Structure 1
Amino acid sequence: MSLINKIRVDDELAGILGEELDRVGGILEDQLRSEHGIVNDLCLHIESYRGKMLRPSLVILSALTSGSKSITHAHRVVAAVVEMIHMATLIHDDVLDEADTRRGGRTINNLHGNEMAVMLGDYLISNSFHLCSSIEQPWINSILGSITNTLCEGELIQLGNRQNLDIDQQTYFTIVEKKTASLIGASCRIGAMLSDPEGRSADHLERFGVSCGIAFQITDDLLDLVGDQDVVGKSVGRDLEKGKLTLPTIYAMNEMEGDDRRRLVDLIEKRDLVGLRSVVRDAGLIDRAMDKASGLVESAKNELESLDETPARILLGSLADGIIDRRY
């Protein structure tokens, strides 16, 4: 709950949200419990991956914003499902990026190798859909099945553009929307639709989530480029190491010419993180990327203006603001 802990929350809402996230955590633990010790040990290790619980929080807050007076078991199950899907993507990302640390601890692939990590990610995905089927809401399965396909498409597009120094902004944003923002948007949409199937809130909240998700990924990419690993809590510089150009570097590659561009290409090809940081920072491109994230946060908050003002809606707006203040 680190994003939420950084902002002021209505006391009653804070109590509700805290209790509901505890229940979601209990559902996660029950679902992933196995009679086999090695599986249990792996699942215990990845409990640290549940750091922010952002997506479950969005399911619950979207439900409350859409008129729910209380949270149902179906809301909690969906919150657990989207968190399991998210955790699976983190495990698989760590394999692809050859990352050693996450949330200040060693990654599964670092501890147990890629084969174990890939299978654990698959185990989480299969458990998420098994759990989702328990609430007998086929439309939710359909949305999350489609979103899982979208996540994989985003990863495949990103993999296909590694080492591509000519990648454009449109491709970058396509990757970000598919890989990150789609699941955040779906978390908001499903939470809203479970509370108000015929209402108007779901579309607004989904757009809120997608805009927040893109802004979140921009800031995450910036932390990988300019963040302090001890503060961020995970490996930094992995995007450059793996040949993935993120927004400030794409700006630079699209705009620099002559000797400046040749120097930039040389820094990228040599995986010179310190040199690349210096170039994009001096050119004002870190600030420009942050301005883009800030604009997306404002777009997200504008979607909330069409909804009734409630403590949950106010907290959603504060969560959006918190995205651009991240240091971790």
Structure 2
Amino acid sequence: MPTYFELQTGSVMSRLDTTADLLQLVHQEIGAELVRTEEIFDEELASTNPFVGDIIAHTRRFRGKRLRPILLLLTAKACGNISDAHPILAAVVEMIHTATLVHDDVLDMADVRRHVATVNVRWNNETSVLFGDYLFTHAFHLAASIGTADACRIIGRATNRVCEGELSQVRHRGDLDLTEEAYFDMIDGKTAELCAVACLLGAKYADSSSTVVDALREYGRELGLAFQIADDVLDIMGTEDAIGKTLGTDLDQQKLTLPVIRLLSSLSSEEANELRRQIRDDGCNAGPEIIRLCQEKGILEETASTAQEIANRAAKRLSILPESPARRLLELLPGLAINRVC
């Protein structure tokens, strides 16, 4: 594994091998700020209501690698200034992300997230919806503590965009003629927007110029797009034991993702209609046939290549920043994200 010294001097630009390698370097760079983010997150959600406390304790078990707080804090560090506002904003963005996951599990009828029963399974859909709302309201309450209206406006606009993306996905459920253009617009909202706003906030509250803020927002957006494309490949090819969440929900709910859209476009009209019938009638049971056809036609490799191209584009946006360990970690994140290490 590269040493922190090598990262500082720029002598290591190759891919890290494991998630642990990356996280070790991230924690050397922004560990104290990540700890503070966790403290703020927990302090804001602390409740004297035992039932609410049980739900909070349960959802703490499926916290991930904190990609969005990492993006926000690394961006701030790369811009030269982590302020007291940054851990607060990182907690806000993570709270919103957690709320979307809780609501997503209801929409997807998912049973497992990060090897733990989802809130809707542990309790019920009503509890999940209300707890997601609880997280949203706490996020905006916390954002208001920054002392300027800008943070709430920026986060509110981003949250609206996330909701638009989710609504678009609901609208297109069962649309087995979904276009790539509609797919990209949908994932730009539901996934990429929060990554974009994390980087925007990191740069803006480090007093960066508007040019730098815009570049880093687009870096986060492209990282989020690449991440979602990789996630969609995993929904077809992954295993629940390895990934730690319910898979196959996209096919069960007739939600087309990029690999399936491209597969359908590669087939003859007759073959495509037959595959649409299988998806409509069999849901995730059509998975083996989709995998076979994707492998036969190289669709998964083509889709992975698209994710890699977008990840490369994201990394190039960082040339606007001065060289630093934080910038180098940001350069590594897109490639690692598409390999599902964050």
TM-score range, shorter-chain basis? over 0.9
Q: Which amino acid aligns with 1:281?
A: Q
Q: Which amino acid aligns with 1:222?
A: V
- Output one character per residue of 1:185-239: Cα deviation in whole Å (capped at 9) or x when no partner: 0100111110124353211111100000000000111111110110000001011
Shift of 1:254: 2.4
Q: Which amino acid aligns with 1:273?
A: G
Residue 54 (str. 1) matches residue 67 (str. 2): yes
Q: Distance in 1 between matches of 2:294 and 2:274?
A: 12
The alignment partner of 1:268 has SS state of helix
Q: Distance in 2 between matches of 1:50 and 1:56?
A: 12
The alignment partner of 1:291 has SS state of helix
- Residues 159 and 119 (structure 1 numbering): CA distance in 2 closer, same or farther, change over 3 Å? same
TM (norm. structure 2) is: 0.91
Q: Which amino acid aligns with 1:324?
A: I
Quote the residue 1:301 is aligned against.
315
Matches within 5 A, 1:34-49: 34-49=47-62
Matches within 5 A, 1:250-265: 250-265=261-276
Q: In the alignment, is the contact (CA less than 8 A) between 1:49 and 1:87 conserved in 2?
A: no
Q: Distance in 2 between matches of 1:187 and 1:28?
A: 15
Alignment counterpart, residue 172 of structure 1, candidates 183, 198, 202: 183
Alignment counterpart, residue 7 of structure 1, candidates 16, 22, 38: 22
- Output one character per residue of 1:74-118: Cα deviation in whole Å (capped at 9) or x when no partner: 101000000000000000000000000000010000110100000
Q: Which amino acid aligns with 2:253?
A: K
Shift of 1:240: 0.4
Quote the residue 1:319 is aligned against.
333
Quote the residue 1:89 is aligned against.
100
- Residues 208 and 106 (structure 1 numbering): CA distance in 2 closer, same or farther, change over 3 Å? same
Quote the residue 2:168 is aligned against.
157
Residue 275 (str. 1) matches residue 286 (str. 2): no
The alignment partner of 2:165 has SS state of helix
- Residues 9 and 301 (structure 1 numbering): CA distance in 2 closer, same or farther, change over 3 Å? farther
Q: Distance in 2 between matches of 1:150 and 1:48?
A: 27
Q: Distance in 2 between matches of 1:7 and 1:226?
A: 24
Q: Distance in 1 between matches of 2:164 and 2:19?
A: 30
CA RMSD, aligned part only? 1.7
Shift of 1:152: 0.7
- Residues 262 and 313 (structure 1 numbering): CA distance in 2 closer, same or farther, change over 3 Å? same
Quote the residue 1:21 is aligned against.
34
Unaligned regions of 5+ residues in structure 2, if any? 1-16
Quote the residue 1:228 is aligned against.
239
Q: Which amino acid aligns with 1:95?
A: V
Quote the residue 1:242 is aligned against.
253
Deviates more, 1:269-278 or 1:152-161: 269-278
Q: Distance in 1 between matches of 2:238 and 2:41?
A: 31
Shift of 1:258: 3.6
Q: Distance in 2 between matches of 1:78 and 1:305?
A: 25
Q: Which amino acid aligns with 2:331?
A: G
Shift of 1:14: 3.1
Q: Distance in 2 between matches of 1:7 and 1:80?
A: 21
Q: Identity of counterpart residues, as a percentage?
A: 38
Q: In the alignment, is the contact (CA less than 8 A) between 2:79 and 2:208 conserved in 1?
A: no
Deviates more, 1:74-83 or 1:196-205: 196-205
Residue 104 (str. 1) matches residue 100 (str. 2): no
Q: Distance in 2 between matches of 1:231 and 1:116?
A: 28
The alignment partner of 1:50 has SS state of coil
Q: Distance in 1 between matches of 2:295 and 2:268?
A: 17
Deviates more, 1:111-120 or 1:258-267: 258-267
Report how many aligned residue pairs link the two structures: 323
- Output one character per residue of 1:28-70: Cα deviation in whole Å (capped at 9) or x when no partner: 11110111010011011111332110000111000011111xx
Residue 137 (str. 1) matches residue 148 (str. 2): yes
Q: In the alignment, is the contact (CA less than 8 A) between 1:267 and 1:276 conserved in 2?
A: no
Q: In the alignment, is the contact (CA less than 8 A) between 2:40 and 2:91 conserved in 1?
A: yes
